[in-house]
Structure 1
Amino acid sequence: MMTRSQINIYAAEAKRISRQLAATRTHKEQAPLVHAWAAATIQALKESQMARIRTIKPEFFTSDDIVSMSPLARIFYIALWCEADREGRLEWKPRTHKLRYLPGDDCDIDDLSAELIEAGLVVLYSVDGKQYAEIPSFLKHQVINNRETGSKIPPRDIDASTTREVRVNDASATRAHASVGEGKGKEGIYISGEPDVRNPSRFEEFWKAYPSTGRKVAKATCAKRWAARQLDQLADKIISHVIAVRETKQWREGFEPAPLTYINQSRWNDDLPEQPADPSTAENMFEGAI
């Protein structure tokens, strides 16, 4: 499939040739035919340019699984719709996707990929040693143009797809602990969807410290995300921040982020909001001075 820029280049070239031949007297009789050819070519190019138009619904932005992700992960997810064929399948090349869709963003594509995989929004699989990805909900939410080219990517073997390990190479998805699918293919370096039981995580300390409100959900997903980002090494900082920020007015009034949002957006790096002076405390101090 040609990229948009390639399509525009070919369309401009077809127009140029058409004008040039039309102005050439020795080819005057051929000019109408060339015009017809150029028009047809341009139309075909335009159609191929429109073939992968994707739609996005308003409710996308308030969906629980989307809200819990970091902003760039949401953009990356939308970008993968454009990369996917009409069946929601694509070659898994996150480095290439980063250059194509997030060229100016200083971000870790492995972290963004991990968010999508752990949320179940993207499933990885391999066929004959080549890595692919599938967007499970793609056909549910997209209206496919009938003129779009059929899929040339082999389908995922759902029966063989589990949370087992998949090879990581130049098309790697995560650094560690990503839940992915497996198809046919050679074995190599692996990542696992299970935490390392030999090294107990400090995630439970974080979870215990987090306020017990209606937003405290998705513990399993949070634990996987914690492991994927290797947050044990930042556990002291994170837990201390949670203990401090949960006493702020915003959090005490129930406006704390969901734990998954807190992790995905690295909220422990946020400054603590300034606390307004307590009028009753000031009054007591004044009375004590009299």
Structure 2
Amino acid sequence: MARIRTIKPEFWTSEQIMECSAMARLLFIGIWNFCDDAGNHPMSPKTIKALVFPGDDITALAVEGLLTELVTNRLITTYETASKQFLHVNGWHHQKIDRPTVKHPQFVEPSPYAHREVGEGSSSGDRGLTPGRDGKGSNTHSPREPFAMFLDWIPDQVQLEAYAKRSGVAIDEFSEKAISGFVVHHDAKGLAKTESQWISDLVGWRKRDLANAAKVVPLRAGSGGQQLDDSDASWIEQGGVQ
């Protein structure tokens, strides 16, 4: 059952909120209405699309991407119970509920050490370097501000893993060579996007590459079981042209 929820004025100026696209922000607010009173809801893009965007021309796949954006910006956390995925709205304690009704499995908060490891540096200013790269690379831009693609760009590993997982692409597919093709292509265009938007585009780019590669039909073997070689021009010397 849908519930009335509270939006505080500081919501709009939160750094985490400002990092999200407008549609992701709207989805985030919409999720509040349909969560149980503990801030939990099944992690089902199709169901959430039907609840929050019932009359809008937006696909469940697009909603899945928006959910990934919320996960990346630590606005929601996913968890699993009895092989079923759920989401929890982080900071739910700000909602004041007199007689809470809990419908979904309980979300267990991670240990303080794990929370601090993830959250350190995420709420105070810019990040100096991309996490998980041990100081390598040159990503000194703010994750909240659009920037033009540059040749030394290294995607944020945490965001990349989250987007790849939700898109069904193995993280191993994002080799240095695969990323380089994307970077070189967009470096010359001069478009400015946020870190999250670039990573979303990268995952979509790689997913299309893999889909196109799967459509390639190998050449049939020639007579005698030999593989056809389209670079073989020996037939010219043999008088193949009459």
Normalising by structure 1, we get a TM-score of 0.45
3-state secondary structure, aligned to 2:75 = coil
Check conservation: 1:222, 1:263, Cα contact below 8 A. Answer: no
Query: Which 4+ residue blocks in structure 1 deviate beyond 6 angstroms?
Result: 160-163
Which residue of structure 2 lines up, in the alignment, with residue 225 of structure 1? 159
Could you tell me how far 1:72 is from its partner in structure 2? Answer: 0.7
1:110 aligns with 2:110: no
Structure 2 letter corresponding to 1:225: Q
Which residue of structure 2 lines up, in the alignment, with residue 139 of structure 1? 93
1:74-93 equivalences under 5 Å are: 74-93=25-44
How many aligned positions are there?
Answer: 162
Check conservation: 2:144, 2:195, Cα contact below 8 A. Answer: no
Check conservation: 2:76, 2:87, Cα contact below 8 A. Answer: yes
Identify, as 1 or 2, the structure richer in helix: 1
Check conservation: 2:143, 2:195, Cα contact below 8 A. Answer: no
Structure 1 residues 105, 226: closer, same or farther in 2, change over 3 A? Answer: farther
Deviation sequence 1:157-181 (CA, Å, 0-9, x none): 3358999xxxxxxxxxxxxxxx9xx
Separation of aligned partners in 2, 1:265 and 1:72:
14
Which residue of structure 2 lines up, in the alignment, with residue 101 of structure 1? 52
1:233-244 equivalences under 5 Å are: 234-241=182-189, 244=190
Check conservation: 1:119, 1:221, Cα contact below 8 A. Answer: no
Separation of aligned partners in 1, 2:107 and 2:144:
37
Structure 2 letter corresponding to 1:143: K
Runs of 5+ consecutive residues of structure 1 not aligned to the other structure? 4-51, 164-178, 180-193, 198-203, 246-255, 267-290
1:1-290 equivalences under 5 Å are: 1=1, 52-103=3-54, 104-106=56-58, 108-140=62-94, 142-144=95-97, 146-147=98-99, 149-158=100-109, 204=137, 207=139, 222-226=156-160, 228=163, 232=179, 234-241=182-189, 244=190, 259-260=194-195, 263=198
Check conservation: 1:87, 1:151, Cα contact below 8 A. Answer: yes
Normalising by structure 2, we get a TM-score of 0.52
3-state secondary structure, aligned to 1:158 = coil
Q: Give the RMSD, CA atoms, in angstroms.
A: 4.2
3-state secondary structure, aligned to 1:109 = helix
Separation of aligned partners in 2, 1:81 and 1:132:
14
3-state secondary structure, aligned to 1:234 = helix
